[in-house]
């Protein structure tokens, strides 16, 4: 049996279900009716590198080793971009390859550089520009580009509060090219497993969520009726592509449509480094230079202010990339001279800091961080203190607690690499409030209006599974990203490694395809080869970090 997995990156039933109900997405509706569909839970944090590594491995971050876009290994000043070489266990196509299966994978975050497995592999948006090893077979890649034009692994177009029509046009073209690429590769390559992620469905929601969500702050006072029709056309093009792909599949193939997370609006940023600085957990260097920066910071000279200034001059397309040290113009250099950042922290006196996209907090421990100052015997007390204080932060609109819960490392992660995880992860009650830690001191307020993207990730993704193995009308129960790899391997007839955290989604399988007791259990998945520790040169790493900043991830 062939298994085809199409990633509708970030797709959410909140948008697709109303369109299905109105009959606007006939192909998706038909697949739902003749197959299984429902919610697919993401991982925490619901970020692309973590989510897709989980899809590819069936394991939690403590086992596969990826926790964020950047890995700092507890050195807050030396983050490097994660890649497939950071994944410390086998990928699903490597396991399948050892059982004689051939795979095609493209656009899957964290799959570059391709690792040794039979098949054809395209890089993703974490690949260096013009990388000579972007495709595993240059001949097939040349044929692909002849068919679809110059291949675009990513689209970094961003809205600036007035160019939404241009953004929509570019992202629709981006989607169209990737759908055509999928269909070309389906026919050109031999494959048993095909996995491709459509990044355009993620990007359009990051940039244009306010077009759908009329309650969003940026939508107020604006007429988006024409743009809403254009956004509906985007999802109709996706539906058309899904229908074309399904018609090209063998009759006995299994088709799985899935999203690695859902989506929703964001209107506020929560900067825990501001909170930690105000509490005294973060200490600044005692120099005139840093005191000057702190003086400007307290008076509002922050990236938040600077983004507003750039938007006023029509430069919002630069986004936060201008806040990460690549200043080229006079205005940029002037702004940089006023910004406070992690480079100005006195790490020898800092007890805790935030670093990550979803409320991750690290203690600055002696013997772990290069300038750690917290004695390990005092860690328990500091963790309890921080947890208690975080739970008292009020929601600015309701006065109720803003924080839902604070998770410790062992509550989220298990495995040999769990020591790389944050000590605390803060989960907010209201996800319109977005935590930011990678921007250092983006604002001088703990809670400030969001700028840049208007949509962001949620925990509730989706799954639609169609083909002979799946029961019509079945609904998955508690399905999660962890379950994709075990289910795919089972459908391929490959034993599921015993150390995978996910399970085969038996509740959506027809009885003839359901696993029998013990029939799918294989040995633990050990890394078939030891990848080189670093995938990128320093220049490539800087380039990719800049790209991630342009996209709003750093």
**Which regions in the chain score pLDDT beneath 50?**
319-335
How far apart are the C-alpha atoms of 300 and 395, rounded to whole Å?
22
Residue whose tokens read 């294989």: 522
| Upstream peptide bond of 433 is cis (omega within 30 degrees of 0) | no
- Cα–Cα distance, 61 to 51 (Å, whole number): 9
Q: Of the candidates 395, 417, 449, which is a domain's last residue?
A: 449
Residues 257 and 353 placed together within one structural domain of the fold: no
State the Cα–Cα distance between residues 481 and 261, nearest whole angstrom: 9
Among candidate residues 449, 470, 496, the one where a domain is terminated: 449
Per-residue pLDDT, 527: 62
- Residue that finishes a domain, picked among 449, 475, 503: 449
252 and 199 fall within a common domain:
yes
Here the CATH number for the domain that contains residue 526 is: 3.40.720.10
Say how far apart CA 318 and CA 309 lie, in whole Å.
12
Whether 324 maps to a domain, the answer reads: no
Q: Do 201 and 72 share a structural domain?
A: yes
Residue 504 lies in a domain: yes
Does residue 500 belong to any structural domain of this protein? yes
How far is it, in rounded angstroms, from Cα 17 to Cα 19? 5
Q: Hey, CA dihedral for 192, 26, 122, 61, is it positive or negative?
A: negative
- Please give the pLDDT value at position 476: 98
Is 110 contained in some domain? yes
Q: What is the pLDDT of residue 525?
A: 60
Residue keyed to tokens 């100052």 = 373
Q: Are residues 250 and 280 in the same domain?
A: no
Q: What is the DSSP string of 410-469?
A: HHH--STTGGGS-SEEEEES-TTEEEE-TTSSS-SSSEEE--S-SEEEESEEEEEEESTT
Q: Is the peptide bond before 497 cis (omega within 30 degrees of 0)?
A: no
pLDDT of residue 239: 98
Strands 268-271 and 447-449: antiparallel
Measuring CA to CA, which residue among 328, 339, 330, 279 is closest to residue 303? 339
Judge whether 320 lies within some domain. no
Residues 155, 170 contacting (CB under 8 angstroms): yes
Say how far apart CA 247 and CA 270 lie, in whole Å.
46
Whether residues 196 and 74 fall in one domain: yes
Are 178 and 288 members of one domain? no
pTM for the complete prediction? 0.93
45 and 180 within one domain = yes
Contacts of 416 (CB under 8 A, 6+ apart): 62, 63, 88
Interhelix angle 200-212/164-188, rounded to 10 degrees, is: 150
What pLDDT was estimated at residue 437?
Answer: 67
Residues 422 and 469 in one domain: no
Nearest to 47 by CA among 125, 151, 161: 125
Residue 323, domain member (yes or no): no
- On whether both 278 and 258 belong to a single domain, the answer is no
pLDDT tens digits along 258-281: 999 999 999 999 999 999 999 999
Cα(4)–Cα(25) distance, integer angstroms:
20
Residue 281 sits in the same domain as residue 358 = yes
| Buried b / exposed e along 196-222 (16+ C-beta atoms within 10 A) | bbbbbbbbbbbbbbbbbbeebebbeee
Write down how long the chain is: 554
pLDDT, residue 549, reads 79
Do the domain assignments include residue 409? yes
Domain of 297, in residue numbers: 268-315+329-449
The 3-state secondary structure of 528-545, one letter per residue: CCCCCCCCCCHHHHHHHH
Angle between helical axes of 225-248 and 13-21 (0-180°, round to 10) = 80
CA-nearest of 114, 201, 82, 179 to 548 is 82
CB-based burial, 303-335: b 16+ in 10 Å, e otherwise = bbbbbeebbeeebbbbbbbbbbeebeeeebeeb
Are the CB atoms for 12 and 265 separated by under 8 Å? no
The C-alpha atoms of residue 96 and residue 118 are separated, in whole angstroms, by 9
Instruction: Tell me: do 377 and 517 sit in the same domain.
Output: no
Report pLDDT digits (tens) over 22-50.
Answer: 999 999 999 999 999 999 999 999 999 99
Are 351 and 224 in a shared domain?
A: no
- Degrees to nearest 5, angle at CA 453 with 338 and 47: 100
**Considering the domain boundaries, does residue 321 fall inside one?**
no
Domains: count for the chain: 2
Angle at the Cα of 351 from the Cα atoms of 346 and 355, rounded to 5 degrees? 85
């Amino acid at each position: 049996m062939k298994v085809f997995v199409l990633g509708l990156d970030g797709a959410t039933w909140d948008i697709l279900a109303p369109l299905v109900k109105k009959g606007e997405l006939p192909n998706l509706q038909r697949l739902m009716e003749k197959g299984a569909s429902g919610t697919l839970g993401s991982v925490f944090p619901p970020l692309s590198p973590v989510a897709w590594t989980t899809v590819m491995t069936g394991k939690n971050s403590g086992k596969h080793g990826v926790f964020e876009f950047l890995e700092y290994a507890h050195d807050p000043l030396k983050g490097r971009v994660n890649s497939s070489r950071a994944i410390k266990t086998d990928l699903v196509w490597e396991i399948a390859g050892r059982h004689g299966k051939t795979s095609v994978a493209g656009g899957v975050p964290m799959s570059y550089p391709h690792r040794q497995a039979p098949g054809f592999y395209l890089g993703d948006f974490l690949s260096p520009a013009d990388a000579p090893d972007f495709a595993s077979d240059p001949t097939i890649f040349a044929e692909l580009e002849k068919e679809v034009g110059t291949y675009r692994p990513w689209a970094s177009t961003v809205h600036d509060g007035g160019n939404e029509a241009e953004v929509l046009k570019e992202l629709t073209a981006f989607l169209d090219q990737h759908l055509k690429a999928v269909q070309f590769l389906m026919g050109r390559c031999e494959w048993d497993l095909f996995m491709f992620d459509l990044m355009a469905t993620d990007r359009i929601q990051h940039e244009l969520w306010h077009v759908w969500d009329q309650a969003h702050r940026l939508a107020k006072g604006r007429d988006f009726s024409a743009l809403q029709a254009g956004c509906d056309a985007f999802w109709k093009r996706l539906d058309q592509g899904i229908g074309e792909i399904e018609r090209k599949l063998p009759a006995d193939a299994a088709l799985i449509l899935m999203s690695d997370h859902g989506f929703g609006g964001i209107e506020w940023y929560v900067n825990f480094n501001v909170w930690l600085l105000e509490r005294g957990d973060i200490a600044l260097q005692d120099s005139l230079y840093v005191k000057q920066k702190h003086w400007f910071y307290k008076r509002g000279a922050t990236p938040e202010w600077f983004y507003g200034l750039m938007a006023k001059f029509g430069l919002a397309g630069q986004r936060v990339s201008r806040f990460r040290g690549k200043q080229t113009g006079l205005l940029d250099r002037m702004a940089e001279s006023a910004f406070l950042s992690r480079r100005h922290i006195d790490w020898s006196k800092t007890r805790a800091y935030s670093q990550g996209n979803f409320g991750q907090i690290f203690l600055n421990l002696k013997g772990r961080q290069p300038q750690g100052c917290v004695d390990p015997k005092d860690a328990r007390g500091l963790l309890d203190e921080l947890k208690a204080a975080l739970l008292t932060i009020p929601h600015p609109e309701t006065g109720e607690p803003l924080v839902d819960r604070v998770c410790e490392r062992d509550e989220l992660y298990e495995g040999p690499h769990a020591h790389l995880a944050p000590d605390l992860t803060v989960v907010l009650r209201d996800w319109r409030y977005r935590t930011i830690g990678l921007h250092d001191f983006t604002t001088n307020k703990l809670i400030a209006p969001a700028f840049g993207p208007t949509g962001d990730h949620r925990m509730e993704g989706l799954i639609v599974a169609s083909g002979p193995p799946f029961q019509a009308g079945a609904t998955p129960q508690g399905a999660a990203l962890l379950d994709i790899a075990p289910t795919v391997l089972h459908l391929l007839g490959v034993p599921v490694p015993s150390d995978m955290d996910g399970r085969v989604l038996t509740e959506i399988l027809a009885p003839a395809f359901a696993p029998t007791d013990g029939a799918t259990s294989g040995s633990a998945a050990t890394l078939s080869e030891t990848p080189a520790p670093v995938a990128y040169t320093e220049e490539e790493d800087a380039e990719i970090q800049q790209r991630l900043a342009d996209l709003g991830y750093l």
